[in-house]
Amino acid sequence: MYLVLIAGLILAFTSVASLFVGAIAISPWDAMEFLLRDASGLTSTERTILFELRLPRMITAILVGSSLGIAGVGFQALFRNPLADPYIIGASSGAALGVTIAIMVGWQAALFGLRTTAVAALLGSLLIVAIVMFIGSLSGRSNSLSLLLAGVALSSMINSIVSLLMFWSEEKIMVIFAWLMGSLANNGWPSIASTSLIALIGLVILWGLSRPLDSYLLGDVASQSLGLNLAWFRLLLVAGASIATGAAVSSAGIIGFVGLIAPHMARWTVGPKHVWQIPMSACYGAMILISADAIARTIVAPTELPVGSITALMGCPFFLGLLLFRSRSSTVLGDAS
């Protein structure tokens, strides 16, 4: 528990630090004063940068990163596979399809403070996950392998459809492409409020499954004999993880590797028990994304790099390291120290 608290404190520190990092430097003391008291010591430009740009962006990064972190824990447990990520059963391809169609047809559907692309991404991802679950259940046994196969097959098909749609809408290809790269910008306060609610629902569902998740990793026979109704449990698990993923994709597009890395870091730090692993993974996810965003904003300032590329650049070496580490270890989901 102490480790989760320490991670929370480090996250708070990283978050505040991210406020004064950017193309225009704002002193840490002014940023702190702005957060804790009033903004009288800041110029109006600094106020706008802090309140309208960096603070919403920081909170979006926390929401998106933590949602991806907990969704990663959920999907890695569901498939009992440490290489699963939040997009494994089609959430990203569904979101991409929703956004591509919305941009192509000029659909306007702002809802509860969420922008059109956010609504389209959320609906697209949840719809595809629902279809995958339906197809998976047609096999007669709602097991995780059926879900995985259905997800991979459907994702491939939808990705091809998205590519074809992009090919046919040449004039909008850059807009769609920019969304696919992922960005934390342009999320206003109403959008943040809606995303927070969605992310919170995902967190509550997944955290509430902590103990069953521990038993589920011992296998279907063991978890059933401990009273777990596997069909309901899997449904709740997929729902919680998909809602968390939906919160992330609707706010920031597709951001890879965070949902893969954060659960591993959490396991290394607090061990395999999900009651600690889930909040820890949320903290790590948020920290990774805040750091990646700070790098994306500053490394070639004033040009901003897509944050999705930075997380992929950081994530790929980690992923390879994980593969090497796994080859020396018999552990599957238990690389915790």
Least Å distance between CB 226 and another protein? 5
Q: Do 31 and 307 touch, CB atoms closer than 8 A?
A: no
Least Å distance between CB 282 and another protein? 18
The nearer residue to another protein, 47 or 80, going by C-beta atoms, is 80
Distance separating alpha carbons of residues 146 and 85, to the nearest angstrom: 17
Least Å distance between CB 92 and another protein? 25
What is the DSSP secondary structure assignment for residue 272, as one 8-state letter? S
The nearer residue to another protein, 43 or 225, going by C-beta atoms, is 225
Q: Which residues bind another protein (CB under 8 A)?
A: 80, 208-212, 214-215, 217-219, 221-222, 224-229, 267, 271-273, 330-336
Least Å distance between CB 208 and another protein? 6
Burial 1-14 (b: 16+ CB within 10 A, else e): eeebeebeeebeeb
The nearer residue to another protein, 22 or 279, going by C-beta atoms, is 279
Distance separating alpha carbons of residues 322 and 41, to the nearest angstrom: 47
The nearer residue to another protein, 190 or 334, going by C-beta atoms, is 334
Least Å distance between CB 197 and another protein? 21
Residue at token pair 């007669």 = 140
The nearer residue to another protein, 91 or 205, going by C-beta atoms, is 205
Least Å distance between CB 33 and another protein? 41
Helix spans in the chain (H): 2-19, 28-36, 44-48, 55-78, 91-105, 116-138, 144-168, 173-181, 189-208, 210-216, 220-225, 230-252, 258-270, 274-298, 307-327
Give phi and psi for 196, each to the nearest 5. -60, -45
Distance in Å from the first CA to the final CA of the chain:
16
Least Å distance between CB 218 and another protein? 5
The nearer residue to another protein, 144 or 191, going by C-beta atoms, is 144
The nearer residue to another protein, 156 or 225, going by C-beta atoms, is 225
Other CB atoms within a 10 A radius of the CB of residue 302 amount to 9
Cα–Cα nearest to 282, from 311, 244, 314: 244
Query: In the numeric block, which tokens belong to residue 139?
Result: 């096999």
The helix-helix angle for 144-168 and 116-138 (nearest 10°) equals 140
The nearer residue to another protein, 209 or 247, going by C-beta atoms, is 209
Taking the CA atoms of residue 104, residue 109, residue 112 and residue 115 in that order, the dihedral angle to the nearest 10 degrees is 30
Least Å distance between CB 10 and another protein? 24
